[in-house]
Amino acid sequence: MKQSVKLVAGNWKMNGLGESLAEAETLAKALKEQAAACRVALCPPATLIARMAQTLKGGVVEIGGQDCHAKASGAYTGSVSAGMVRDAGAGLVILGHSERRAGFGETDADVAAKVEAALAAGLEPIICIGETLQEREAGQAVEVVSRQVAGSLPVSLAGKAFAVAYEPVWAIGTGLTPTLEQIEEVHAAVRAAMIARLGEGGRAAPILYGGSVKPSNAAEILAVAEVGGALVGGASLKAEDFLGIIRAV
C-alpha cells in the first residue's frame, strides 16, 4: 500500500473571537516552534486566514479554509471564492463538511463543483464524507461513504494533491468514536471507492479520520491501516490538546 505523509488538520469551525482567539493564537505560535513528523494545518474562519498566515509565516504549518463557493466571482452575497481563500493565504480548503451538508443542504454534486473551483484556484481540497447514526445503525456506512466518494470527487482530481476525510457524523463533537475495526473497514471501502472513481489517481491521497480525535485516542487511530491523518475539531482549539495529537503521529 502506498502511503503519503500523514496530515493533521485543525478545523476551528466558527471559533476564534475574544478568549478563543487568544487561545488559538497561542496554539499557532506554539505550533510554529514545533517540529512534526507530519504535515500540520490550521483551518480558521475565513476572517482569520490572512491573520493566521501572517502569524505562521516562515514556519511549516499550513493554512486552510473551511469552505469556498463553486463560482469564481459574481453576485453571491456572503460567499467567498476559492481564489479569495487562496489569496488570503490558504493552501488547503475543507469541502463538504457534514455541518455544511446538513446545515446548508450541500449535495455531493455541490461538493464536486467546489472541488473543481478549489483545484482551479490552486487549493488542495480536503473532501469530507461520513454516515449518520441512523445510516450506521442500518448497516449502510460503507454504502453511504462509497456513494459520497463517487459523487463528491470529480475525475479531474486524479493526479492532483487532495485528501478525503472520513468523519462519521455521530462522532463529531460527541466524544464517541467508531471502533478501530470500524474505522479500518470504512477506510478500506473509501480507498476502494477512490480507486474505482479515479483509477491509479485514487491510490495515494491520504484518507483522514475525523470525529472526537483527542490526544488519548490519536495514536491508536492514526495507526489503523489507511488512516492517513486526522481532521480535528474541538481539540484543535487548545494548544496542549492539538500538540498532543501531533506528537502521537
Ligand X SMILES: O=C(COP(=O)(O)O)[C@@H](O)CO
Stretch that binds ligand X, among 27-35, 114-122, 147-155, 230-238 (CB under 6 A): 230-238
Q: Are 202 and 191 in contact (CB under 8 A)?
A: yes
Task: Point out the catalytic residue in the list 99, 106, 124, 167.
Answer: 167
130 residue type, one letter: G
What's the alpha-carbon Rg for the chain, to the nearest Å?
A: 17
* Count of residues that bind ligand X according to CB under 6 A: 14
Is residue 173 part of an annotated ligand binding site? yes
Q: How far is CA 211 from CA 76, 174, 206, 224, in A?
A: 31, 8, 16, 15
Binding of ligand X by 66 (CB under 6 A): no
State whether the Cα torsion 216-219-220-226 is positive or negative: positive
Distance, C-alpha 110 to centroid of its chain = 17
Nearer to ligand X, 83 or 207 (CB): 207
C-alpha cell read off for 34: 514545533
Binding of ligand X by 100 (CB under 6 A): no
The SS3 of residue 232 is strand
The answer to whether residue 167 is catalytic is yes
Task: Out of 67, 108, 131, 167, name the contact with ligand X by CB under 6 A.
Answer: 167
What does the per-residue mask of binding to ligand X show for 169-208, with x meaning CB under 6 A?
---xx-----------------------------------
CB of 8 to ligand X, least distance (A): 11
Binding of ligand X by 213 (CB under 6 A): yes
Phi then psi for residue 216, to 5 deg, are -75, -20
Stretch that binds ligand X, among 75-83, 149-157, 196-204, 231-239 (CB under 6 A): 231-239
Q: How far apart are CA 135 and CA 165, in angstroms?
A: 18
Contacts of 133 (CB under 8 A, 6+ apart): 169, 170
The answer to whether residue 19 is catalytic is no
| Cα end-to-end distance, the chain, whole Å | 18
Binding of ligand X by 154 (CB under 6 A): no
Binding of ligand X by 16 (CB under 6 A): no
Which segments are annotated as binding site for substrate?
A: 11-13, 173, 212, 233-234
**Under the rule (CB under 6 A), what is the footprint of ligand X?**
11, 97, 167, 172-173, 210-213, 231-235
Active-site positions read 97, 167
